Amino acid sequence: MKVTFRMLGWMGVLMLAGPGSGKAADSSVSPSCATPEHRRLDFWAGDWDAFDVGGSDKLVARAHVDIILGGCALREIYEQPNGVVGQSFTIFDASRKRWHQTWVTNRGTLLQIDGKFQGASLTMEGRQLTSDGREQIVRGVWSPQDGGVREIAHTSLDGGKTWQPWFDILFRPHKE
């Protein structure tokens, strides 16, 4: 699988003690964001190396996912060796009872996705324009896996009738 700049498993950046520890740089939790639903994605917080699962198990990025703003959001910083840098902010929007992520890169890419948990996995999707102006749907799924986090993404150019793999990455704890 060809690694693209969006292979940025839209989420993964943190200065945590370790994956799944639930500890964040800001240890004070806002009462507004202390609900179990607000804490469901905390497994993604950590200092990660991101690997392509597509057979090569190649290192594709370094990612940090922090719990910020009193536990109300996760901030991801995703850096690829080719200079592409992306950041995402992910929140549980209690008013809509939906998870939301906004993703931007140093190449001018914007992606906004929404979704919800199904079991232990978070699925979010949204629409964006391709470089040639076609509308595509992007769907990403984050799941805890073997002490890390797996993110799988697919795209559809026909309104969701058919889907194509975009990337499949595994966030593993960073090793110095």
Query: Does the pLDDT of residue 159 top 70, yes or no?
Result: yes
Query: Does the pLDDT of residue 15 top 50, yes or no?
Result: no
* CA 95 centroid distance within chain: 21
Cβ pair 96, 105 in contact under 8 A: no
Distance CA 64, CA 2 (A): 23
Question: Which pTM was predicted?
Answer: 0.83
Query: Does the pLDDT of residue 21 top 80, yes or no?
Result: no
The class of domain 5-173 in CATH terms is: mainly beta
Q: What average pLDDT does the chain have?
A: 86
Percent residues over pLDDT 90 in the chain: 78
Q: Mind listing the pLDDT tens digit for each residue in 86-144?
A: 999 999 999 999 999 999 999 999 999 999 999 999 999 999 998 899 999 999 999 99
pLDDT of residue 64: 98
Cβ pair 173, 148 in contact under 8 A: yes
Delimit the domains of the chain by residue range.
5-173
Give the Cα-Cα-Cα angle 151, 154, 155 (nearest 5 degrees): 145
Give the residues across from 135 on adjacent strands: 129
